[in-house]
Structure 1
Amino acid sequence: MLAVVAAGFALYAGSPPRELWWLAPIAFAVFAAVLRGRKARAGFGYGLLFGFAFLLPLLGWLQDFLGADFGPWPWLGVAAVQALFVALGGAGMARVSRLPGAPVWMAAVFVAAEALRSAVPFGGFPWGRLAFTQDTGLFLPLAALGGTAVVSFAVAVVGGGLAELARRARTPRRWAAPLAAVLVPVVGGLAMLPFIGTDPNAGTARVAIVQGNAPNLGLGLLYEDGVLHANHIAAAQQLAADQAKGPLDFVVLPEQVGSWGPSQTDPDLSGVAAQLGVPLVVGGLGKDPDGSLRNQIVRWDPATGAGDRYVKQHLVPFAETIPMRPVARLVSPFVDRFRSDMVPDDKPGVLDVGGVRLGVGICYDVAYDDVFTGATQEGATLLAVPTNNAWYGHSEMSYQQLAMSRLRAVEHGRAVLVAATSGVSAVVQPDGTVTQQTELFTAQNLIAEVPLRSTQTLATRLGSAPMWTLVVLGVGAVALSWWRPRRTADA
């Protein structure tokens, strides 16, 4: 029990903003070693401890956000529910640990558990996947092969292989299979490095990111839409005053800068766009003619105002969409802020702006695989993540989200523009490196010339196929373990 708790905390310690990516396979090795040869019931218990020890500190930003008004219960509740999925994975891993090639099957089962918790309940919660600990390091290039599923699988396979090597330390002749489990993903990551393209094969764009800042009020920001709007208009005006630094192709502003009715008018935004002389990409809450609420990103033209939009695909449960409203009122302030749920869309976010095909995902969207896969498949040559992280104070949340953007950059071979209300805003290159980054709770504009790329990575072309392949392998291995004769089987 102490070992799996320590391993779970070590996995958190290796997560962003710390660049200790190598801790993840070591932590998983300890977890796999404890599960080796156990019954499913024991695997469930150890998995629950491992998941809770990892996710509780990882999701500490929920306590920063809601703790003062609602106590620790939202934080503890979300961590506990998500730990249950890790527990299910632990039960399955214990079952398949008796099969030949156990590290492979255990890794596939864990990926299947990640896929499940990324889908249910209420649309899932992908935060804390193994892949998101790998925004730097040897396994990051594997994202271009098969996205987050392959990166998570690589970390888990290496961890499982290390556990088997430790178990077989006194029998060197049986090292071949676990040694292969360790070396193949490492060599694969190294081999992929030369193929991570960063060249501007579709040209370049000179862009600006506006971070207007927000007061660090936590829940006090809930009804301060006007402050966010005013701060970002002022920051954009400052950008216009600095036009001597050179012309721009377009400007990206964060999520939740505006609030628009069906007519979609905003004289301040139109005035800033006219001053800059280039289109804006700006986020806000919109109300459709039928009364539907939408979290959206709008292209704002200097001459014609609001144009094409992207509507957020994955809404945050208990915030943007609120199940069980009478119960949710006990843990969420958004029940009273939004009397009706926002409405998502399922269309990829690709906006033609300033001569660029810009793929867009809003805040929470970046944790999901389908958003930028769909946008890149639809021809996006550059990606953007407008977000509002001002709720979460000086917590690690913004850095965890930035890590996801870095992985998406490599996954699709695209530069990514992160535009946050209060930080962290950043310019991410197609190889995942961050070339510009703001501090938290500062007003700062970033200007960068970024590469545009049209070539598609294998991960983009395959879409969800690698994830489903690993899910089938994991579920199949568990099914095989039920009818296979109960005996210890080594690779």
Structure 2
Amino acid sequence: MRLALAVCAGLCLWLSFPDLNVWPLAIVGVALLALATRGARARTGFLLGLVCGLAYFLPVLKWAGTYVGSFPWIALSVTEALYMALMGAACSFVQSARRIERLPHWLSPADGPHVRPFAIALLWLLQEAVRGSMPFGGFPWARLAWSQAGTPLAHLASIAGAPGLSFAVALAGGGLAVSLDRLRRGTPSGMMRRLAPAAAVVVLVPLSGVVPTPTGGPKMNVVGIQGDVPTAGLEFNAQRRAVLDDHVRETDVAIKMVRAGEIPQPDLVVWPENSSDIDPTRNPDAATEIIQAVNRVKAPLIVGAVLQQPSPDVSNASLLYEPGKGIVATYIKQHPVPFAEYIPYRSFFRFFSKKVDLVRADFAAGHKTGLFTIPTKNLGPVKVGPVICFEVAYDSLVHAAVAKGAQLLVVQTNNATFGYTAESEQQLAISRIRAIETGRSVVHISTVGVSGLITPDGTVHDKSRLFTAKVLSGALPLRSSMTLADRLGRLPEIVGSAAALVLLLLAYGGTRIGETRHLSRRKKEVHEVV
């Protein structure tokens, strides 16, 4: 039964994410894992967490093996599942009444093993914090928070960020588990008491939508160019000039739309990541093509480019062009993706898969937060924070741009290597949560989609389809005020993680004291018998 609950928990978590988006199942998934680990030994909890993690990450990360085979996908999924296994062991540990008899009553009822919702939520937060930071900088994909884009709970991201939103989802799951546990155990406390935690969850979800997510502010006319690629998959890299030409051609379509009055003259045009894999700082043809496009569109243009520096490495860059000036600012991606943009310990991992050599040159990491100043005719200088691809999933990188004064966020990505999978929608969901969390509009632009213009309430406008060419146009509000999540930064995650560690220490202390008392009672009983 425990194994069945763990499998169902993982599948529910997967189904809560795009493309399926059955978001209440994230709460159900947490509840089922809490029930599976209740009263179990720690090593059993480890196994249950591992099973749940595999049922969760194998389907949700299926896109990782789209064109490179099963090994990278399975290796990544198993690695992520190990964090769930450790969390499962911790959940079992803290949910044993004998082991935590010294904890406060609201965390640890003394009449037997029970679900502890606050403990469960804190341990989820700790698990996501560790998983998102190590190894190699971590991989914070498939966090509970990312499953809630477009839901009432998403509004909570503006209070305590993505970690706080994950905590709220896990706490709701813990509350649901308490009611299910009481119903199963048939506790004599009455039906109302049994259902009270579940009722609190039902009330919490719509009430979360009351949290304000302001969208006011001066409007900036933005155009995003989704140029598409000639071929889906890894082969698109061999057609770099065609990809650049596609984005120039679609920019000319936008110019025609402006002249026809279909869209307003843009204050800013954004191309996606890898829109120019030909280094325009070294290749005159590519440079000329981009500069001419900038001069024709008569607006600043942000281009995603690969720079052949610092040799022998390369750089994933955002380049800001201005009409008549060329490149005026550069941002280098600070968090290249391990095993995709660089290979750590290449000789070691080559032993497992020769595909590591598909990455011929490693991408070097940038060391400065990006902030572009965009000159506009009616709004004055506008501060824009560039974020490249998977960087959008890392809290510190996004918050750093806002802290430097970004009024608008630009997420440039390339999803061509993931085909027609859920990866694009999953990434768009992250950008939606970031918009609410930071109170900023987000230009989410991909080479092949899914792209969209996102207002600070997380609403997507002018959304595109996969593998189509499209001009995205919209007037996005600019905001400079800081949300509470912006001001708190990493504090909620640090405090919550510390509280989870203290909880584990108290549980360990309770175990030692409980074992000592048990041994003393046994000695006393033996002495009386003798």
Letter in 1 for 2:228: N
Q: What TM-score does the superposition give when structure 2 sets the normalisation length?
A: 0.86
Q: For residues 86-485 of structure 1, what are the structure 2 equivalents within 5 Å?
A: 86-98=84-96, 99=100, 100=105, 101=107, 102-169=116-183, 170-171=186-187, 173=189, 179=196, 183=200, 187=204, 190-191=207-208, 193-200=210-217, 203-244=218-259, 245=261, 246-258=264-276, 259-260=278-279, 266-288=287-309, 292-329=313-350, 331=353, 333=355, 335-339=357-361, 341-354=362-375, 355-485=381-511
Instruction: For residue 335 of structure 1, report the CA deviation from its aligned partner.
Output: 2.9
- CA distance in 1: counterparts of 2:309 and 2:73, whole angstroms: 33
Instruction: For residue 149 of structure 1, report the CA deviation from its aligned partner.
Output: 0.7
Instruction: For residue 346 of structure 1, report the CA deviation from its aligned partner.
Output: 3.5
Whether contact under 8 Å (1:211, 1:253) holds in the other structure is yes
Over the aligned positions, Cα root-mean-square deviation in angstroms equals: 2.3
- Given the superposition, is the C-alpha separation of residues 458 and 346 from structure 1 closer, same or farther in structure 2, using an over 3 Å criterion? farther
Whether contact under 8 Å (1:138, 1:186) holds in the other structure is no
Which whole-Å deviations, capped at 9, do the CAs of 1:230-281 have from their partners, x for residues lacking one? 1111111221222223311010000011232656861111000000111101
Whether contact under 8 Å (1:103, 1:181) holds in the other structure is no
- CA distance in 2: counterparts of 1:478 and 1:185, whole angstroms: 29
Instruction: For residue 348 of structure 1, report the CA deviation from its aligned partner.
Output: 2.1
- Residue 220 of structure 2 aligns to a residue whose secondary structure is strand
User: Which residue of structure 1 lines up, in the alignment, with residue 523 of structure 2?
Assistant: none
- CA distance in 2: counterparts of 1:138 and 1:256, whole angstroms: 35
- CA distance in 1: counterparts of 2:490 and 2:367, whole angstroms: 16
Instruction: For residue 15 of structure 1, report the CA deviation from its aligned partner.
Output: 0.8
- Residue 322 of structure 1 aligns to a residue whose secondary structure is coil
- Report the identity percentage: 34
Which whole-Å deviations, capped at 9, do the CAs of 1:298-342 have from their partners, x for residues lacking one? 111111111112211211111212112124445474634433x22
- CA distance in 2: counterparts of 1:409 and 1:288, whole angstroms: 32
User: Which residue of structure 2 lines up, in the alignment, with residue 73 of structure 1?
Assistant: 71
Q: Structure 2: where are the runs of 5+ without partners?
A: 108-115, 376-380, 516-530
- CA distance in 1: counterparts of 2:312 and 2:194, whole angstroms: 60
Higher relative contact order (CA 8 A, sep 6+): 1
Larger CA deviation: 216-225 vs 323-332: 323-332
- Given the superposition, is the C-alpha separation of residues 167 and 442 from structure 1 closer, same or farther in structure 2, using an over 3 Å criterion? same
Letter in 1 for 2:235: G
Letter in 2 for 1:90: G
Q: What TM-score does the superposition give when structure 1 sets the normalisation length?
A: 0.93
Aligned residues: 481
- Given the superposition, is the C-alpha separation of residues 191 and 26 from structure 1 closer, same or farther in structure 2, using an over 3 Å criterion? closer
Whether contact under 8 Å (1:279, 1:302) holds in the other structure is yes
Whether contact under 8 Å (2:271, 2:304) holds in the other structure is yes
Letter in 2 for 1:253: W
- CA distance in 1: counterparts of 2:480 and 2:455, whole angstroms: 14
Letter in 2 for 1:84: L
Q: Structure 1: where are the runs of 5+ without partners?
A: none
Instruction: For residue 204 of structure 1, report the CA deviation from its aligned partner.
Output: 1.1
- CA distance in 1: counterparts of 2:21 and 2:151, whole angstroms: 8
Which whole-Å deviations, capped at 9, do the CAs of 1:376-396 have from their partners, x for residues lacking one? 111111111010001111100
- Residue 257 of structure 1 aligns to a residue whose secondary structure is coil
- CA distance in 2: counterparts of 1:127 and 1:305, whole angstroms: 36
Q: 1:46 aligns with which of 9, 34, 48?
A: 48
